[in-house]
Every structure is written in structure tokens, then in C-alpha cells.
Structure 1
């Protein structure tokens, strides 16, 4: 059963935000990494909208492409929202600390 889970391709962080992972060698600040990730989410959202419009116009006949693009966009947005929530919670926790 675990072989099936381990065999799933494309579900690691390296594929979600490729721009942030290819720059590991460089010294990037946190704000740049966050900006790149948000731009990638925006790009996925735009791609999902384009694919849906192409399907509605009859340019694409495969509904699977539309569903995959929409799901990628949805998952990346959920991940970004969760990361943002965690960052805010960490900031609040730091502000509550007494020095």
C-alpha cells in the first residue's frame, strides 16, 4: 500500500513552486521567496482560467486538462493560504513573548 503512495509523482514541494527551489544556491531573502511563490500561484490561477475558457470555446475537448489545471490552482492557493496563516500565527506568538 505504501508503494502506491510513494509512487505518486508530482506531489512534492519542488513541483509546486519551481522558481523557489531552483534558487537554493543563491542568497534570497524571505520576502523574495514569498513573492516568487505568490507569483507562481497567480500564474497557476491564470492558466486554469485560460484552460477553462478554451474548453468553453471548444478549443480543448479533454475535460481532464481543465480539471487538472483547476485542481493545481486550487491546491496552490490553499497551500499559500495555510503558509500565510502560519506566518501570521508565528508573528503573533513572537509578539506575545516577553523579553
Structure 2
């Protein structure tokens, strides 16, 4: 029984989230209302991946800081907040590992294709 596994639907949702984050405008001039849609921003996979990894890293650092604060006796940090933060960091990391596994699997499939 694989307790830490994430189903394929969650992985697909994370990939869709990565694509959506990559296509979000970053402050570029938007077309005025009524003129039409602004052209879609060019998707840069490496930037989207880097951004996602930074978010995972930030959630882990935040979780660690909260845990240290709670252990030091800080009254502003409750145990439930620390546990929720740790679970979020864990889920983010597990999802990242699953996406990595899917990418490696896809890479191996492409490499094994006969041309």
C-alpha cells in the first residue's frame, strides 16, 4: 500500500496550474477593453518549473521557521498552525516528486521511441 502516492488527477491539476502560472501576464501592457484579447505570453517551461520549486522551498522554510518558533515557546504560533504548515509543505514536496517522476517517465518513453 502506497500511502504517500498522489493520484494522476492531482498531478494533472498541478501541471495545469504550472501552465496557468507560466501564461499569466507579468505586467506587460494589456490591450484596452473592447479591442480584443491580448496575445498569449510565451510559455517558458524552465521559468515555470523554477517558480514552482521556489514556492515549494519557501513553504518548507516557512514550516521550519514556524516549528522553531513554537519550540522556542513563542505564544504567537499555535501547534495547529505549525502542523498545518508542515502538512502543506509535505504535500507540496510530494506533488513535486510525483511531477518529477512523470517527467522522467515521459522522457524515457520519448527516448525509447523508434524513429
The TM-score by the shorter chain falls in which range? Answer: 0.7 to 0.9
Any stretches of 5+ residues in structure 1 without a counterpart? 1-11
Q: Identify which range, 47-56 or 60-69, moves more after superposition.
A: 60-69
Moved over 3 A (4+): none
Aligned residue for 2:69, secondary structure, equals helix
TM-score, scaled to structure 1: 0.75
Report deviation, 1:58: 1.1
Alignment root-mean-square deviation, CA? 2.4
User: Aligned ranges for residues 32-47 of structure 1 at < 5 Å?
Assistant: 32-47=47-62
Larger radius of gyration: 2
Counterpart selection for 2:44 from 8, 21, 29: 29
User: Aligned ranges for residues 16-95 of structure 1 at < 5 Å?
Assistant: 20=21, 23=24, 26-59=41-74, 60-95=76-111
**Higher fraction of helix:** 1
CA distance in 2, matches of 1:21, 1:58: 40
- Greater relative contact order (Cα 8 A, min sep 6): structure 1 or 2? 2
TM-score, scaled to structure 2: 0.65
Q: Structure 1, residues 9-60: CA drift from partner, whole Å, max 9, x if none?
A: xxx75xx87x936726532311111110000000000000000001001114
